Structure 1
Amino acid sequence: MGHYHRRDKEKVCIRTRKVYDWVTRQIDVPLRSFSGDDLEMIFPTTNCQRTGTMCEFLTAQAMDPQALTIRCFLTDAAGNPIDPVVDQDALICQEITQPNGRQPVNVTLPSGEIVTLQKVKALVKGHVVVQIVSPTGTVICQSSPIPFATAQTFILCAPEGTQLNCHISFFECDTSLVCTDNFAQLDVSITLCLEVQMEADVKIEVEARFCQPREELAEAVLCPTNKFPPQCPDVFPAM
């Protein structure tokens, strides 16, 4: 195995990212509803190859529009599906700068102690796409990317010099389309979990020891020990 330096441990100075505070919040984005001209605009004819209104088109596709499946998913600004956990760059999640900086807020802890924290505002923006799927599973219509946004206020340990790091750890989009003789409306509801951290680069002293590469382990080779098939002693060569 590898060998350590003569001194087992020594104090070293390292640069690392320190988390000053960390919270998670479930957020219900305000419901977005589309009707009239707005409903027609988010489903362009190039995406649906339709004539007439959306409800006329859907009725022509299925006698009962309620038999159609409507699904909604997160996308980038161009309408490409994204995974919010993996493709964080496709979303905007940033601090909203306040004119007088982060305002101090006195908070009473469960122990009764009063501490001073800071008010931090975060902005989350992204896009979703709505697809209408036939009973046979064929996408018959797809919307243009629909923008959404939410602004949230957090009370955090956020002293001057710390930066906001936020990302979405869960995302769910639900849709409902109503088509009647006198009424047509699409509702889009979004629920997400927002993780917010206040961070800063710091230099800390730790007691550690330097390590060396270990010796490489050779792959074990199992050689067969039984080279011959099993014998039949009852019949040969006993007979």
Structure 2
Amino acid sequence: MDFKSISGGQETLCIKVNKVYDWVTRQADVPLIALNAVDLGESLFFDCPGGVTPTPGGSDDPCAFLGGNVTVECFPTDELGTPIDPLAPGAILCQEIPQPEGRATGQFQLPDGSTVTLQKVKVLKKGFVVVRVSNPQGETCTSNPIPWAVSEKFFLCAPPGTFLQCEITDFECDANLICRPAPTPGAGFVFQQLDISINLCQNVQMEALVKLEITADFCQPRPDMPFVCPPLAFPPQCPTVFPGPGPSPTPA
């Protein structure tokens, strides 16, 4: 079957699309999250299966439970501690911070000497991470979801009517646990400090919904791939057994 253009040629079309007014990429470094022994049981909690919680409602000490030889990993989660894909749309909150007086405007000089007017856009990114600590014996301690946030300023072509479109393209979390010997000799180790470093890459765009007039061809479906049904196949029979040679003639 031949597929023909709806009108036989190009058409002038009016379409509604998001126009990109500006687009930048940037690496964002979240301020270092440093938690010490005072925070353990206050804002930082570890759950060590079989561990001893110092006080009711408190936190297990991963250093006391696992010893000083540990491996530390950090991964993004939601507010309940469920691991997430940080690159999935909406997995990490990324939104514009409203400014009471609107976006401030500034003049900037380009390399060729010309000037351009840009707007200041404040962007907030926030989420949660969980730290998991393990020892060579396979025992683990897992932290509660730890919140993080970072605010940045961008100077973009962002006139009134445009909105922020933010995409996280890379996410990296590193954690370092410091254990110190317990005050009592031979009593093992105790928690001293946990440092968490988060870096991410982002696409930041300013967009607006516009109507455009373009000249283009209508899209047409491609021909379907031919499909030939396979021949019917029957299992081989055993004619000497069934249905057999047939009944013998009956004498008249």
Q: 1:190 to 1:57 in 2, by over 3 A?
A: closer
Question: Could you list the per-position Cα deviations for residues 190-236 of structure 1 after superposition, in whole angstroms to 9, with x for gaps in the alignment?
Answer: 1111221101111000001223333322047999xxxxxxxxxxxxx
Q: Which runs of 5+ in 1 are unaligned?
A: 224-239
Cα distance, 1:151 vs. partner? 0.4
User: Unpaired runs of 5+ in structure 2?
Assistant: 184-190, 232-252
Cα distance in structure 2, aligned partners of 1:147 and 1:133: 22
Percent of pairs with identical residues? 47
TM-score where L is the length of structure 1: 0.83
1:162-191: CA deviations, max 9, x gaps? 000112111111111111147701111111
Moved more, 15-24 or 36-45: 36-45
Residue 70 (structure 1) shift: 0.6
C-alpha contact 1:55 1:179 (8 A) present in aligned 2: no
Normalising to structure 2: TM-score of the pair? Answer: 0.79
**After alignment, is 129-138 or 96-105 more displaced?**
129-138
Offset at residue 135 of structure 1 (A):
1.2
Give the aligned residue type for 2:27: Q
Alignment partners' CA distance in 2, 1:211 and 1:159: 34
Aligned partners of 2:158, 2:107: CA distance in 1, in Å?
Answer: 13
Structure ID, larger Rg = 2
Q: How does 1:96-107 map to 2 (within 5 A)?
A: 96-107=97-108
How many residue pairs were aligned?
218
Q: CA RMSD in A?
A: 2.4
Where in structure 2 are the equivalents of 1:1-239 lying within 5 Å?
A: 1-41=2-42, 42-45=44-47, 49-52=51-54, 58-62=63-67, 65=68, 67-86=69-88, 88-138=89-139, 140-181=140-181, 184-219=192-227
2-side partners of 1:155 and 1:137: how far apart? 49
Shift in Å, 1:28 = 1.1
Structure 1 contact 102–119 (Cα < 8 Å) conserved: yes
Q: CA deviation at 1:143?
A: 0.6
